[in-house]
Structure 1
Amino acid sequence: MRKTHLAPAAVGGALTLAVLLSGCVANNPASSALTVDITDDGCNVSAATAASGAVKFTASNKGTQVNEFYILADDKLRIVGEKENITPGATVDYVAQLSPGTYYTECKLGMVGAGIGTSKFTVTGDEVALSGTDKEQSDTAVTNYVAYIKEQTDGLVTNVAAFTAAYVAGNDDEARALFPTARTNYERIEPTAEAFGDLDPKIDFREPMATEDGIPFTGFHRIEKDLWAPAGFTPSTPAERQELADGLNANVKQLFDLVREKDFTVSLSDISNGAIGLLEEVATSKITGEEDEFSHTDLWDFQANVEGASVAYGNVRDIAVSKGDDGKKLVEKIDKQFDALNKQLAAYGSLDAGFVTYDQLSTQQVKELSDGINALSEPLSQLTHTVLGIAE
């Protein structure tokens, strides 16, 4: 679960992830390569305009705290793109596929609270249509990945219903067994939910994050706390359990409905950045064991994140290969590291048979997993540049 822009979800209308591909990828002129100077009280983008298509932002955190960089739609509510966990002293690249229009850029100090340095950002020019095989590959990637998202939300609704039914009935042993598998579908497509404003916090916020943002602590992790109640905690009453279950079911059903809106889609960069983001989340938060702090079922989440990243990557893999020798070499590295990481995770179990709980892993084993995740994250971080044809 990552911190997200806590704006109301734009429901009832067209809501799309990041920006629409519209079958187009622009060339990358110099004006589309920008820098972002981040400080504790500022977020300065080197230019207020860019050419449409793939826009590369090189963000440098010159402040004292971890920060995030956001691109918002013209309503300042919908998240068009984000780069998280930019640590002090770090310089990172983020590539967004932007259609002509008005956007806003901002940063978020500590990855919580209101944005800082919010500034208008204008994208101009015409979209450059792909031709021949490139367009066919892009259309296929988008179509297939949207279908995967819908499939996962279908499974999510079903599995959450079974999980919450056991929880409400007081069948805690059954509910504990169902908890990690009920989360699997969600963890595979978490970047999708994170794009829908405050829906992700309702479903998957941990207690410290809810407290920081002053919102109710609901969803998976509130129920998790009931099922693995820590010392001194008073579990929910039957009526409170029913309310929590109803809320979780309603929110996952809303996600199910949103991805079935007639004009819901994703862009090519959404797919590749989604793969990158899922691995980054494991590397920056889940590896610490803080995600499932009561149940210690983190390895189920790890595996689901890796699977989700693999599916997203698989949808754009052929496009990366088509970019020439550099693309082929990158794909070879990513394939190798995915295989290696999956073998590491298999040593501790599987989604079908179950995993050992995370608290049973030694410090050395956690380090080895962290090393494996980082070994995959490094080449995977280059995927969007390659797929969109941007030179490093």
Structure 2
Amino acid sequence: MTRLRPLGAIAGTLAGAAALAAALTGCVPNTPADAKAEAIAVTLKDETCTVDTATAPAGAVTFQVTNTGSDVNEFEVLAEDKLRIAGEKENIGPGTTVNYVVQLPEGSYFTACKKGMVGTPTSLAAFTVTKGSGAKTSASESKQVAQAVTNYTSYVKDQTGQLLAATKAFAADYAAGNDDAARAAYAKSRAFYERIEPTAEQFGDIDPALDLREADLEQGQDWTGWHHIEKDLWAPAGYTPSDAAARTKLADKLVADTQKLYDLVYAKDFSLTLDQISNGASGLMEEVSASKISGEEEIFSHTDLSDFKANVEGAEVAYGTVRDLLKAKNADGAALVKKLDTEFAGIDKLLAQYAKGDGYVSYTELSTDQVKELSDEVNAVSEPLSQVTAVLVK
């Protein structure tokens, strides 16, 4: 989920939600960018951020984001309704600078940041995308792009459909008190969500409703979703699991929120772009680095390796969808393909060592050295994957 910390920032203090009125005053746009500007500088300072321009031409827009604050942060580009996420770069650690490329059509947007990746976006500032000259693509390439988007959209819909069916069965077992069956189905049901989580994150509050961890709750916030149920099923010492009425309420909410995701994905106006696919692949691997490696995602069930594998599978599918386009783009693209083919094979082979039945061993069984080996493999995939969008859409 989006609200998880990188390994080195777990101990940081979570930010509270800021009032929207206060949020509107934070970003300070300076001079407009012209069509030839290579990157728009963005500076994150915990609850505030500064974007160096209020405009950019349509097309591939590059933001160079520097986090000068004390906590992990994320940078967002919101649609005009301030709800739909047109693009987001998560897990930007203190003292780091990253380049983030997003394809933006002409229109009105808002930029924002979110300290700790929790709560309400802050520093909302108007951002206008003007008519651009347009990237020159051949008819053949345009057809390939359209086919890639169609194929990946079909994959997202398929995974969402399977998620809904699996969630209904899981929720029924949980509500009925069939804990052994629910525990057996937990990781397998969640895998459908983990493979397509970047898409779910585009729809405002759906991701936190489904996937919020207890550690990321804000004061007074109602805790719903998978991880509340996880705590009931793998109750830690001193914790009293939910009673029958509370279980029914949690189960019904989980199904209702999953149905909402399904309805949005199957809506006539649902669409994805090429950069959302490639950035989503990168985001899934960052998710592994941020929470699966540290073991904080599944803190009660310790089924982190199942989530780990689902994130990798989702990243591989997204990468596979754009692979041929990337390879044909230029020499840099071909080099990335060669590297990524090798690294994905490596991480798949490593994960296979921990398979047990139709799942994986408990994450608590791994030694420090084994966790380090996994972390190194994740980094080996993440680094070239983070470069794909910049090559693909430029």
Q: What's the TM-score once normalised by structure 2's chain length? A: 0.89
Query: Partner residue of 1:11?
Result: none
Query: Partner residue of 1:2?
Result: 2
Aligned residue runs from structure 1 range 172-251, under 5 A = 172-209=179-216, 211-212=217-218, 214-251=220-257
Residue 294 of structure 1, CA deviation: 0.6
1:158 aligns with 2:165: yes
SS in 2 for 1:120: strand
SS in 2 for 1:217: coil
Identity of aligned residues (%): 55
Q: Distance in 1 between matches of 2:51 and 2:220?
A: 30
Q: Distance in 2 between matches of 1:254 and 1:118?
A: 26
SS in 1 for 2:279: helix
Q: Distance in 2 between matches of 1:2 and 1:375?
A: 22
Q: Distance in 1 between matches of 2:41 and 2:137?
A: 27
1:285 aligns with 2:291: yes
Give the letter for the 1:286 counterpart: K
Give the letter for the 2:177 counterpart: G
Contact 2:83 2:203 in 1 (8 A): no
Q: Distance in 1 between matches of 2:105 and 2:260?
A: 27
Query: Partner residue of 2:176?
Result: 169
Give the letter for the 1:302 counterpart: F
1:377 aligns with 2:382: yes
Q: 298-307 or 99-108, which moves further after superposition?
A: 99-108
Render the CA deviation track for 1:138-180: whole Å, top value 9, x for unaligned: 1001101110011001110111122122212222111111100
Give the letter for the 1:101 counterpart: G
Q: Distance in 2 between matches of 1:200 and 1:126?
A: 33
Query: Partner residue of 2:31?
Result: none
Residue 126 of structure 1, CA deviation: 4.2
Aligned residue runs from structure 1 range 82-161, under 5 A = 82-126=88-132, 128=134, 130-161=137-168
Render the CA deviation track for 1:243-287: whole Å, top value 9, x for unaligned: 111111111111111101101000110000000000001001221
Render the CA deviation track for 1:214-270: whole Å, top value 9, x for unaligned: 421111111111111111111111222111111111111111111011010001100
Residue 73 of structure 1, CA deviation: 1.1
Residue 3 of structure 1, CA deviation: 2.2
Residue 301 of structure 1, CA deviation: 0.2
RMSD: 1.9
Contact 1:32 1:51 in 2 (8 A): no
Query: Partner residue of 1:76?
Result: 82
Residue 118 of structure 1, CA deviation: 2.2
Contact 1:31 1:51 in 2 (8 A): no
Query: Partner residue of 1:271?
Result: 277
Q: 2:307 aligns with which of 294, 301, 305?
A: 301
Query: Partner residue of 2:343?
Result: 337
Q: Distance in 2 between matches of 1:31 and 1:119?
A: 20
Q: Distance in 2 between matches of 1:217 and 1:154?
A: 24
Residue 110 of structure 1, CA deviation: 2.6
SS in 2 for 1:89: coil
Give the letter for the 1:134 counterpart: E
Alignment gaps of 5+ in structure 2: 5-16, 19-33
Give the letter for the 1:3 counterpart: R
Q: 2:41 aligns with which of 23, 35, 44?
A: 35
Render the CA deviation track for 1:36-71: whole Å, top value 9, x for unaligned: 122235312221111100000011112232221111
SS in 1 for 2:126: strand
Aligned residue runs from structure 1 range 19-34, under 5 A = 29-31=35-37, 33-34=39-40
Give the letter for the 1:258 counterpart: L
Q: How many residues are matched?
A: 367
SS in 2 for 1:370: helix
Contact 1:112 1:213 in 2 (8 A): no
SS in 1 for 2:3: coil
Q: 2:364 aligns with which of 339, 359, 383?
A: 359
Q: Distance in 2 between matches of 1:270 and 1:310?
A: 14
Q: Distance in 1 between matches of 2:78 and 2:334?
A: 33
SS in 1 for 2:288: helix
Give the letter for the 2:88 counterpart: E
Render the CA deviation track for 1:313-349: whole Å, top value 9, x for unaligned: 1111111111122111110001100000000100000
Render the CA deviation track for 1:93-116: whole Å, top value 9, x for unaligned: 100100111111122223233433
Q: Distance in 2 between matches of 1:107 and 1:221?
A: 25
Contact 2:66 2:97 in 1 (8 A): yes
Residue 361 of structure 1, CA deviation: 0.7
Q: 133-142 or 123-132, which moves further after superposition?
A: 123-132
